[in-house]
Amino acid sequence: MITGFFRGGGGWRNGSTCERAVMELQNRLRNLKKEREKRVQDRTGRIARFVDDGDVGAAFVAAEQIVREENAIRILELLYHSCEIVVANLTYIRRHSDCPREINKAVSTLAFTAPRCPDLLELWILRQLFFERYDEFYDVVAADAELEGFVTTLLSIVRP
């Protein structure tokens, strides 16, 4: 027992797997954010050309696409921030099964967005790791109305 504790076995066995998945997710999120920011810049230039050419309908479509991209960027920033909280508190998460509200919210954000962002495999891995760790506690926490409303609002677009 004591030797296991000093080797890092005193806490969560999947802690290093979680840390690796979070780091990979952060790298993917950074790259995706850069790509989307580039798309927003490109589409902004297109809007100006559409307006100059008198094609207002195409300008509105391009503006809607920009809003979608900006919302996606905000979600990526939210996920990145949640990853930072998990990384900063990973030692605490490894040692304790009950976590403070800030950590709970970060973990539940990652768990909640996994089904809504199927192209981010690392989110699914983290979701599974946290479900194993906390016996699907975060499935209930992830249904928090505040988080659900925020993410759902950003993922959907209502036409003006």
- Helix 56-88 × helix 145-155 angle, to 10°: 140
Cα 37 to chain centroid, rounded = 17
- pTM, 2 dp: 0.77
Is residue 4 situated within a structural domain? no
Is residue 5 situated within a structural domain? no
Is residue 2 situated within a structural domain? no
Is residue 3 situated within a structural domain? no
Q: Would you write out the chain's pLDDT as a tens digit for each of its 160 residues?
A: 333 333 344 456 777 888 899 999 999 999 999 999 999 999 988 998 998 999 899 999 999 999 999 999 999 999 999 999 999 998 888 888 788 888 888 888 888 888 888 889 999 999 888 888 776 555 545 545 456 566 666 666 555 4
Please state the domain count of the chain: 1
**d(Cα 28, Cα 118) in Å, to the nearest integer?**
13
Is residue 130 situated within a structural domain? yes
Is residue 114 situated within a structural domain? yes
- Helix 15-53 × helix 56-88 angle, to 10°: 160
Question: Residue 90 sits in which domain range?
Answer: 13-155
Is residue 54 situated within a structural domain? yes
